[in-house]
């Protein structure tokens, strides 16, 4: 404000889940105001870790998670994906620590603990991000660097070495990457998501560091957001599929370009399995891509529907009109709506003008509308089929019929995705003897792959395979990624005799979980939720 005079302001009553409205009477002159404020210790968009919760155990750590409506908990702004802004920031931290943001980050450690940031491209509030910790820096290619605690730097540099190839593949398909560098911040294990597409600096869970690059599809996903989501944004969270469905589709294209078609198809087949299982449990209103006609909490839209149903819709259109036509359409779409927010209705009008009008027989409007506004999956879905999974099914059948021993199954060249299909395709119910045999031959209880361990632990809970319980405890107390921990708690609470065991583990694990993870698990366990 030009004259530094105090303004009249009022903070309203807190309304869950929206928070408290800050009303300010603006001055008649001037074009800026200053707000002095302080965050609350329990701000839902921040997690403060003590040294013991970090990899080194030496220094505290702070990171933000603003999506969907948590930026408002640590900075006063218009917290909606419909509004964009540029920003500058000056952050002062203890001299041994480094601050990074969703902005231009300098590789040098500041000697005085002061870091200056500039974000010249306009972003929505949910992409506002900050992290502070004992962060090291390693450049791994022309446009990519890793920020992480020291023990994660080299494993992450190896794991994410294909990132530059993914950038080149994405630019070839969808035009220039418009955000400068693309860096990766590996967070402590309590980070509640797989990744967060904060522009210029994607936040990444360490649970994807498997040692064989088999889980780097997550990097393809967060990178893809540089076009779908960060560049063209859903104007409302009820249209989340415009961010996540597009991104999951582009992720698949990047995985195919960098790792080959077979891996892309295997991932698609597993994702379809998960989606079909999820759809069977969701009410019809939550099975639609656009849920704007339904009143949902902004957090409730984050289901496999927005991600995978959205992806299969775009894949159906691609196959109907051909890749060249669909790629050209997406390229123009990203140009026409760059740095803007749109709704499903706007997208449908654009789709009709640019693609449906040219391919009315291939893209019947009734079918397109059914994809967006109808429940479930349309019959026109292209089902991904891979011979690798067919072979695994045959192996399981031969083992079950006594024609093949477990030790004779040729698993030497299996990737994460073959292992996941194997675990999900095992005939149920499984006896204790069978679980023991599987564990002895394949050592599942000691798998260091977070996804394989997760699926094995689900089976161990279902069939109360006690030799895996120590691993279950260490797993749930060492990571906070909601995708991996919430299903395990749900499975325990649904299994007779394991409810108290689940509560015992959660009592130990909860203090180390992010507030969003606590919010997700509390109702499952029956734990009172903290007011955020």
What amino acid positions are annotated as catalytic residues?
Answer: 222, 307
Strands 340-342 and 232-234: parallel
CA distances from 392 to 18, 259, 509 (A): 48, 21, 36
Count of Cβ atoms closer than 10 Å to residue 230 Cβ: 24
Count of Cβ atoms closer than 10 Å to residue 135 Cβ: 24
Nearest to 251 by CA among 227, 232, 286: 227
Q: What is the distance between the alpha carbons of residues 286 and 31, in angstroms, rounded to a whole number?
A: 42
CA distances from 113 to 95, 98, 100 (A): 4, 7, 12
Count of Cβ atoms closer than 10 Å to residue 407 Cβ: 10
- DSSP β-bridge partners for residue 341: 233
Q: Which ranges constitute the DSSP H helices of 238-300?
A: 241-259, 261-279
Strands 145-148 and 183-186: parallel
- Sign of the torsion angle spanned by Cα atoms 178, 179, 183, 187: negative
CA distances from 260 to 246, 266, 267, 330, 384 (A): 20, 11, 11, 22, 15
Q: What is the distance between the alpha carbons of residues 40 and 46, in angstroms, rounded to a whole number?
A: 10
Q: What is the distance between the alpha carbons of residues 132 and 529, in angstroms, rounded to a whole number?
A: 27
Count CA atoms closer than 13 A to 135's CA, side-chain side: 32
Cα angle 396, 401, 407; round to 5? 55
**Contact by Cβ (8 Å): 150, 56:** yes
Angle between helices 323-336 and 310-321 (to 10 degrees): 120
CA distances from 132 to 44, 69, 416, 441 (A): 17, 21, 33, 43
Nearest to 16 by CA among 73, 58, 78, 83: 73
CA distances from 161 to 167, 183, 256, 260 (A): 12, 12, 16, 16
Q: What is the distance between the alpha carbons of residues 232 and 147, in angstroms, rounded to a whole number?
A: 26
Nearest to 193 by CA among 67, 51, 18, 54: 67
CA distances from 270 to 184, 211, 263, 277 (A): 26, 21, 11, 11
């Amino acid at each position: 404000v030009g004259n530094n005079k105090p303004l009249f302001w009022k903070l309203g009553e807190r309304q869950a889940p929206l928070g408290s409205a800050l009303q300010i009477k603006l001055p008649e002159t001037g074009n800026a105001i200053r707000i002095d404020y302080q965050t609350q210790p329990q701000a839902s968009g921040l997690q403060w870790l003590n040294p013991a919760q970090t990899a080194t155990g030496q220094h505290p750590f702070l990171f933000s998670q603003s999506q969907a409506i948590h930026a408002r908990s640590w900075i006063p702004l218009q917290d909606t994906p419909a509004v964009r802004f540029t920003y500058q920031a000056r952050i002062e931290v203890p001299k041994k620590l480094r601050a990074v943001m969703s902005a231009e980050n300098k590789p040098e450690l500041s000697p005085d603990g002061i870091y200056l940031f500039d974000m010249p491209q306009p972003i929505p509030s949910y992409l506002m991000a900050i992290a502070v910790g004992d962060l090291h820096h390693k450049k791994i290619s022309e446009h990519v660097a890793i920020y992480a605690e020291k023990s994660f730097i080299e494993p992450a540099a190896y794991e994410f070495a294909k990132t530059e190839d993914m950038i080149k593949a994405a630019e070839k398909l969808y035009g220039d990457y418009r955000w400068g560098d693309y860096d990766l911040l590996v967070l402590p294990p309590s980070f509640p998501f797989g990744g967060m597409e904060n522009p210029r600096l994607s936040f990444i869970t360490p649970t994807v560091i498997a040692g064989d690059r088999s889980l780097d599809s997550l990097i393809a996903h967060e990178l893809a957001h540089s076009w779908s989501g960060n560049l063209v944004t859903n104007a409302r969270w009820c249209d989340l599929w415009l961010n996540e469905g597009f991104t999951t589709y582009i992720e698949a294209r990047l995985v195919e370009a960098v790792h080959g078609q077979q891996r892309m198809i295997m991932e698609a087949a597993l994702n379809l399995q998960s989606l079909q299982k999820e759809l069977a449990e969701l009410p019809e209103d939550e099975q639609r891509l656009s849920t704007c006609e339904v009143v949902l909490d902004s957090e409730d839209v984050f289901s496999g529907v927005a991600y995978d149903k959205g992806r299969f819709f775009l894949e159906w259109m691609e196959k109907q009109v051909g890749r060249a036509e669909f790629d050209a359409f997406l390229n123009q779409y990203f140009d026409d709506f760059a740095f803007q927010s749109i709704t499903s209705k706007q997208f449908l009008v654009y789709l009709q003008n640019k693609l449906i009008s040219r391919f009315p027989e291939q893209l019947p409007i009734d079918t397109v509308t059914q994809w967006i506004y109808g429940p479930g999956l349309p019959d026109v879905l292209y089902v991904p089929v891979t011979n690798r999974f067919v072979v695994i099914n045959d192996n399981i059948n031969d083992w079950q019929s006594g024609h093949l021993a477990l030790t004779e199954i040729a698993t030497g060249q299996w990737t994460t995705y073959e292992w996941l299909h194997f675990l999900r395709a095992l005939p149920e119910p499984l006896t204790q003897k069978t679980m023991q045999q599987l564990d002895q031959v394949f050592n599942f209880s000691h798998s260091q792959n977070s996804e394989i361990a997760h699926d094995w632990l689900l089976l161990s809970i279902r069939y109360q395979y006690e030799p895996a319980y120590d691993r279950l405890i260490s797993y749930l107390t060492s990571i906070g990624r909601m995708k991996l921990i919430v299903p395990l708690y749900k499975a325990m609470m649904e299994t007779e005799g394991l409810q108290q065991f689940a509560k015992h583990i959660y009592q130990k694990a909860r203090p180390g979980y992010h507030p969003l993870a606590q919010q997700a698990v509390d109702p499952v366990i029956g734990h009172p939720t903290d007011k955020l």
